[in-house]
Structure 1
Amino acid sequence: MAKNFVLWAVIAAVLMMVFQGLNPVDRSNSWSYSEFMKAVESGQVESVTISGQSIKGTSRGGQAFESVLPAFDDKLMDTLLVNDVEVIGEKPEKQSFLSQLLLASLPILIIIAVFMLFMRQMQGGGSGRGGPMAFGKSKAKLLSEDQIKTTFGDVAGCDEAKEDVKELVEFLREPGKYQKLGGKIPRGVLMVGQPGTGKTLLAKAIAGEARVPFFSISGSDFVEMFVGVGASRVRDMFEQAKKQAPCIIFIDEIDAVGRSRGVGIGGGNDEREQTLNQLLVEMDGFEVNDGIIVIAATNRPDVLDPALLRPGRFDRQVVVGLPDIRGREQILQVHMKKAPVSDDVNASLIARGTPGFSGADLANLVNEAALFAARANRSEVTMEEFEKAKDKILMGAERKTMVMSEKEKENTAYHEAGHAIVGRLVPEHDPVYKVSIIPRGRALGVTMFLPEEDRHSISKRGIESNICSLYGGRIAEELTLGKDGVTTGASNDIERATKYARNYVTKWGLSDKLGAQLYSEDEQNGYLGSSGGGQMAHLSDDTARSIDSEVKELLDRCYQRATQILVDNRDKLEMMKDALMEYETIDSDQIDDIMSGTKPRPPKGWGDGSGGSPAVSADDSVEKESRDMASDDDDVAGEPAGERQ
């Protein structure tokens, strides 16, 4: 606080000096020397005070004035005395040499002070570790053994990862047990996993169980604009850790500093590479750092430097993956302890309906359910709130204020019914969970599919079925609106179907014509084709044309297949459209009624104001087909919010 006050005080002083220098002097009572002499000779001046070359005086009428004495006028005193003017002399103020030097150097000193204060702010000098030139010191935050309350009991859903790191805890507690047999504990452990899976939480639990000091730092904290600063921070961090050994150093997002050296334009960043070199030496160099275990976390292990992953540095890679159904149930139970949960809440049922959720997603689910309960002024969180929270996360928030015309609602109902019917009738497709024409996010309607069991791969037949169901919405519009009446709502469906087909041919080797060969090197977008802008210089033009031809043939085949399914089930398409227009949202039970040819039953909770949602039976992944809103500036709409694949 005091530092900021001093900074602003210095800035204010500088501004005042500048404004004072720019402010013009009031010269309304200033006389030229000629005017002054005429006034004296005419008897208008009563008295004057002369100090050096400055003249200040008073006229006979009581008006004050000032003037400047030219150095060459030696007759002034005689003229004043002759005209009866009272003359007063002042001794000029004499400044010492030090005062003159101080006044001359004051602006430079102020500029230097402001620069030093800004440097202190930019380089973290307020941390109390040595002032403005302390930016070479480590920024790691130290948590003592008494400050860490997290234990393995607070970590759920990653049992295999916990087993991998439990011996680290035993080594930190009883190092002699391993050392007497010649065993060495790994110097470093690399935690790999998707965002939100609990890598940082698991590292804290290790420190909490072992009861040792815990240094926490991000990979980006090492990198600075000055070459050598990051390396200095690494050295300082390990120096601090030696004083606290045995201890744990946790580096989050280590890929910020640990990327492979010598890559990119110009060979990489000198500062980052110097920092990485110092980290490599500290982890396994001439100097032994016993008792220091480095734990790092990243979701990009493929970009790390090979020297960082060799034995002696990061000896182990602990994969912290997405939890399975049992893990999701355990994570939900951990978070439900923090909220008053009703007896009707079934964590196992919620876990089956949240496939693909990470630990952070599940924590957010419990929080959203608690917020729904608070809005309804309830004392406990019920299963109804959990269903609402799950629908909000999976499908996006309802846009109840959005007004849709009856024609637009009918078009959306046909679109979503087309997805549901095709997805229901093609083989190896996930069951339909819910169909809704309530706008959510950027989608005008949503059709959700949830799998019945854990699934880690998909067959060729399943991929073709997914492409068919993606085209179901567009085909339903064609059947009901005509070729010229289709809308832009299928843009996201077409994009996903094309991506499936590209991967089918170029990555997964499922094309009979092109065979089991990799034609794609782009990990994110796949092969873009001869006209897609992909840099595939090793492919010949003939091969590129063959790929484009195979992709188009697959898409056309699935399109015709889905068209035939909807033509054969036109009566069910009309029946599902009518149900959606009446209820706006239908579940799997109502879809079963429609597919059996009977009138669908009302949704659960219909008419009692509860708005209940159906139970869910699912485990691993979520597929959602949606009818998008048309963009204001393009005919291609964006993806709906909250989409999970």
Structure 2
Amino acid sequence: MNDNDKQQQPDGPNPWMKSLMVWVGILAALALFVTMFDTRSSAQAGDQIGYSDFLNKVEEGSVARVDIAGDTITGTLTNDQRFRTYAANDPQLISRLQEKGVRFAAKPEEGPSIWMVLLYQSLPFLLFLGIAFFVLRQMQKSSGAGGAMGFGKSRAKLLTQKEGKVTFDDVAGIDEAREELQEIVEFLKDPSKFARLGGKIPKGALLVGSPGTGKTLLARAIAGEAGVPFFTISGSDFVEMFVGVGASRVRDMFEQAKKSAPCIVFIDEIDAVGRHRGAGLGNGNDEREQTLNQLLVEMDGFDTNEGIIIIAATNRPDVLDPALLRPGRFDRQVVVPRPDIEGRVKIIQVHMKKVPLALDVDARTIARGTPGFSGADLANLVNEAALLAARKGKRLVAMSEFEEAKDKVMMGSERKSMVMTDDEKRMTAYHEAGHAIVALHEPASDPIHKATIIPRGRALGLVMRLPERDNYSYHRDKMYANLSVSMGGRVAEEIIFGYDKVSSGASSDIEYATGLARDMVTRWGLSDELGPLQYAEAESETFLGYSANRPMRVSADTAKLIDAEIKKIVVGSYDRAKQLLTDHVDQLHSLAAALLEYETLSGDEIKKLIAGEGIDRTSGDAAAPVPAAGSSIPKTKRPKGPFGNPAPQGA
């Protein structure tokens, strides 16, 4: 065990045991309090009898001894039985006892001592103070240790090795980020190595990336590799409703870190406290800006904090204050991107270590079918597959569970219990078949992975297309292909059911196509009429902190031209999809019939069907084979009514 491990071990008894001991002490004090007040009655032991019965026993001669103390009479019968009674101010009692030869003695009436009186009077007050002290102590712990209710104390948590040590072996898919942070690990292990040459390690590293890409995991891995204490806190934990609390917590956090140096302080979601100053209300004197000012001073002010490495994470680096990003503070920005296919393979293999796998599971096949997934998405995919296998009572997780889990994550859960009429199913089948046929005949379109008319999530059907490889740019021909595919469902409804029977199911398709066409015209300069100019403002922080892509202030003529170009692109894609579906209407009928028969078709099955080979599932549980493309379906099988809301094409 090294010194750091010794330092991180908690001192004293378990907090749960301490709380239990406090409550046991309180209950014991209450029991003592009740017992002390009951002392007199317990001392006066014996069976209580009436005064008349006592006189009768005296007359009978069955009383052996009597002790008189004030109005209380205790004694012993001839059979050694104890008794107790109370005198009724009888002046003849003494003479009666003498006549019957009863031995009696007079005692002064017992009263509590002065110490007991003081204890009786002070015990309730002391008990109240003890309970109040315990409650206040618990409130201080819940709001931060120490201080007046702990408002000014840091809420940073010190993670120890007992909570799960994380190293670079547990981080996959972000090799470049790991290499860039390896220097920090070497500095924490051997600071003198850099000091000999006059080098200074960066005081702060800013991890930038989309949510779920592994920024927090990477920060913990640095601490695990270096074997140093790791403090973690969220940016929102600094800011309170009281002015000055955040700055006090920043000071306290650095004080704690100095005691454990060398160490790592990880601030998650730093954009909650590190936004541009002057963008809020209060003339720059609000609580958030004071907290940011204190953080800037602590990181690179007059007081040097040697051995403290600040690592922060955010997915919005554009809103951070420039003073945070200058050299001496967060002077090293590490981009943590979404993993490529090789990175996804490594990430899946890391998460599969704890899952019993069947022999048919291939991590590379799963990685190829999950483009754009982050590390958190892949972890969720493996977990969903394990849950599905457990639900089915299997001992191993097979490839079928991973495929089902992938469909669930990407398309949503199946809603097989949803009741749909035959007309609605046929409308959905032709809608999705329209998307698929256009995608097959557009050379720049991504291959079809799966088509289904089973409701999933909020969609009543879906055509999923997956790229063959990771794409890092968006080409013009692919944009036009995606626009045509998005119009395929709407066009198929119009061709098969007529102009008056077109449904509202293409609303999300139209929204997607309009947004893509607007970006082509206003952001990417892909309009011949408007030229390579940008007509949309980039994302920027406004007065209230809201950011979005907003149209620039253009002239009325330019705005009309922009609208005309957007309409031209969308309508042209509509005409392109209509031409393709008209030329291949037989394929449209065949694919719709196959979807009605099987409900879900894979991309390979769709290709075989269009190539004229047909689909044969007679060996399984499915019904008869579906005819190949070119054969017609009976007129009575075609939809006759409108459909409420078919699903988007899933591009």
The partner residue of 1:596 within 611, 623, 638 is 611
* TM-score w.r.t. length of structure 2: 0.73
Amino acid corresponding to residue 566 of structure 1 in structure 2: L
Do residues 401 (structure 1) and 414 (structure 2) align?
A: no
- 1:95 alignment partner in structure 2: none
- 2:559 alignment partner in structure 1: 544
Do residues 561 (structure 1) and 579 (structure 2) align?
A: no
Deviation of 1:225 after TM superposition, in Å, equals 0.5
The partner residue of 1:475 within 491, 505, 518 is 491
Amino acid corresponding to residue 585 of structure 1 in structure 2: T
The 8 Å contact of residues 145 and 214 in structure 1, kept in 2 or not, is answered as: no
Do residues 381 (structure 1) and 409 (structure 2) align?
A: no
Give matches, 1:163-182, under 5 Å: 163-182=179-198
Amino acid corresponding to residue 157 of structure 2 in structure 1: K
Q: Which has the larger radius of gyration?
A: 2
Do residues 425 (structure 1) and 441 (structure 2) align?
A: yes
Do residues 607 (structure 1) and 630 (structure 2) align?
A: no
Deviation of 1:148 after TM superposition, in Å, equals 5.1
- 1:197 alignment partner in structure 2: 213
Residues in 1 aligned to 2:550 and 2:146: alpha-carbon distance in whole angstroms: 51
- Residue 133 of structure 1 aligns to a residue in which SS? coil
Amino acid corresponding to residue 393 of structure 2 in structure 1: N
Residues in 2 aligned to 1:435 and 1:487: alpha-carbon distance in whole angstroms: 20
Amino acid corresponding to residue 597 of structure 2 in structure 1: E
Residues in 2 aligned to 1:412 and 1:147: alpha-carbon distance in whole angstroms: 51
Give matches, 1:371-520, under 5 Å: 371-520=387-536
- 1:370 alignment partner in structure 2: 386
The partner residue of 2:313 within 272, 288, 297 is 297
Do residues 571 (structure 1) and 586 (structure 2) align?
A: yes
Do residues 281 (structure 1) and 277 (structure 2) align?
A: no
- 2:365 alignment partner in structure 1: 349
- 1:215 alignment partner in structure 2: 231
Deviation of 1:127 after TM superposition, in Å, equals 5.9
Residues in 2 aligned to 1:119 and 1:630: alpha-carbon distance in whole angstroms: 61
Unaligned 5+ residue runs, structure 2?
Answer: 1-18, 24-120, 541-547, 624-641
Residues in 2 aligned to 1:596 and 1:489: alpha-carbon distance in whole angstroms: 29
- Residue 334 of structure 1 aligns to a residue in which SS? helix
Do residues 244 (structure 1) and 244 (structure 2) align?
A: no
- Residue 248 of structure 1 aligns to a residue in which SS? strand
Deviation of 1:589 after TM superposition, in Å, equals 1.6
Residues in 1 aligned to 2:381 and 2:390: alpha-carbon distance in whole angstroms: 14
Deviation of 1:406 after TM superposition, in Å, equals 1.0
The partner residue of 2:600 within 552, 560, 585 is 585
| 1:321-372 superposed Cα distances (whole Å, 9 cap, x missing partner) | 1111111111111111111111111111111111111111111111111111
Deviation of 1:453 after TM superposition, in Å, equals 1.4
Residues in 1 aligned to 2:492 and 2:174: alpha-carbon distance in whole angstroms: 44
- 1:21 alignment partner in structure 2: none
| 1:110-160 superposed Cα distances (whole Å, 9 cap, x missing partner) | 9xx999979984xx5436722643210111011245655111001111111
Amino acid corresponding to residue 594 of structure 2 in structure 1: A
The 8 Å contact of residues 252 and 298 in structure 1, kept in 2 or not, is answered as: yes
Amino acid corresponding to residue 165 of structure 1 in structure 2: L
| 1:581-615 superposed Cα distances (whole Å, 9 cap, x missing partner) | 11111111221123223423439x84289xxxxxx
- 2:354 alignment partner in structure 1: 338
Residues in 2 aligned to 1:3 and 1:411: alpha-carbon distance in whole angstroms: 70
- 2:375 alignment partner in structure 1: 359
Amino acid corresponding to residue 273 of structure 1 in structure 2: E
The 8 Å contact of residues 536 and 549 in structure 2, kept in 1 or not, is answered as: no
Residues in 1 aligned to 2:284 and 2:507: alpha-carbon distance in whole angstroms: 39
Residues in 2 aligned to 1:405 and 1:539: alpha-carbon distance in whole angstroms: 49
The 8 Å contact of residues 145 and 207 in structure 1, kept in 2 or not, is answered as: no
The 8 Å contact of residues 143 and 151 in structure 2, kept in 1 or not, is answered as: no
Identity over the aligned pairs, expressed in percent?
Answer: 60
Amino acid corresponding to residue 572 of structure 1 in structure 2: Q
Residues in 2 aligned to 1:254 and 1:128: alpha-carbon distance in whole angstroms: 20
Amino acid corresponding to residue 553 of structure 2 in structure 1: H
Residues in 1 aligned to 2:467 and 2:149: alpha-carbon distance in whole angstroms: 58
Deviation of 1:409 after TM superposition, in Å, equals 0.6
Residues in 2 aligned to 1:119 and 1:144: alpha-carbon distance in whole angstroms: 24
Do residues 326 (structure 1) and 342 (structure 2) align?
A: yes
The partner residue of 1:161 within 152, 177, 186 is 177
Deviation of 1:407 after TM superposition, in Å, equals 0.9
The partner residue of 1:259 within 272, 275, 283 is 275
Deviation of 1:629 after TM superposition, in Å, equals 8.8
| 1:291-314 superposed Cα distances (whole Å, 9 cap, x missing partner) | 000000011111000000001100
Residues in 1 aligned to 2:435 and 2:569: alpha-carbon distance in whole angstroms: 18
- Residue 305 of structure 2 aligns to a residue in which SS? coil
Residues in 2 aligned to 1:229 and 1:389: alpha-carbon distance in whole angstroms: 46
Amino acid corresponding to residue 564 of structure 1 in structure 2: Q
The 8 Å contact of residues 145 and 212 in structure 1, kept in 2 or not, is answered as: no
In structure 2, the CA distance between the partners of 1:405 and 1:119, relative to structure 1 (3 Å rule), is farther
Residues in 1 aligned to 2:283 and 2:644: alpha-carbon distance in whole angstroms: 44
In structure 2, the CA distance between the partners of 1:601 and 1:267, relative to structure 1 (3 Å rule), is farther
In structure 2, the CA distance between the partners of 1:172 and 1:575, relative to structure 1 (3 Å rule), is same
Aligned residue pairs: how many? 506
- 1:15 alignment partner in structure 2: none
The 8 Å contact of residues 212 and 374 in structure 2, kept in 1 or not, is answered as: yes
Residues in 2 aligned to 1:147 and 1:577: alpha-carbon distance in whole angstroms: 54
- Residue 296 of structure 2 aligns to a residue in which SS? helix
After alignment, is 344-353 or 142-151 more displaced? 142-151
Amino acid corresponding to residue 621 of structure 2 in structure 1: G
Residues in 2 aligned to 1:516 and 1:285: alpha-carbon distance in whole angstroms: 46
Deviation of 1:320 after TM superposition, in Å, equals 0.8
Deviation of 1:537 after TM superposition, in Å, equals 6.0
Residues in 2 aligned to 1:431 and 1:330: alpha-carbon distance in whole angstroms: 25
In structure 2, the CA distance between the partners of 1:359 and 1:491, relative to structure 1 (3 Å rule), is same
The 8 Å contact of residues 442 and 629 in structure 1, kept in 2 or not, is answered as: no
- Residue 552 of structure 1 aligns to a residue in which SS? helix
The 8 Å contact of residues 340 and 381 in structure 1, kept in 2 or not, is answered as: yes
Deviation of 1:534 after TM superposition, in Å, equals 8.8
In structure 2, the CA distance between the partners of 1:644 and 1:407, relative to structure 1 (3 Å rule), is closer
Runs of 4+ in 1 over 4 A off after TM superposition: 1-5, 113-121, 145-148, 265-269, 533-537, 628-631
The 8 Å contact of residues 167 and 220 in structure 2, kept in 1 or not, is answered as: yes
Unaligned 5+ residue runs, structure 1?
Answer: 6-101, 525-532, 610-627, 632-636
Deviation of 1:458 after TM superposition, in Å, equals 1.5
In structure 2, the CA distance between the partners of 1:265 and 1:423, relative to structure 1 (3 Å rule), is farther
The 8 Å contact of residues 525 and 532 in structure 2, kept in 1 or not, is answered as: yes
In structure 2, the CA distance between the partners of 1:356 and 1:454, relative to structure 1 (3 Å rule), is same
- Residue 314 of structure 1 aligns to a residue in which SS? coil
- Residue 294 of structure 1 aligns to a residue in which SS? strand
Give matches, 1:303-322, under 5 Å: 303-322=319-338
Residues in 1 aligned to 2:490 and 2:526: alpha-carbon distance in whole angstroms: 25
Residues in 2 aligned to 1:573 and 1:392: alpha-carbon distance in whole angstroms: 27
The 8 Å contact of residues 424 and 643 in structure 2, kept in 1 or not, is answered as: no
Give matches, 1:134-153, under 5 Å: 134-144=150-160, 149-153=165-169
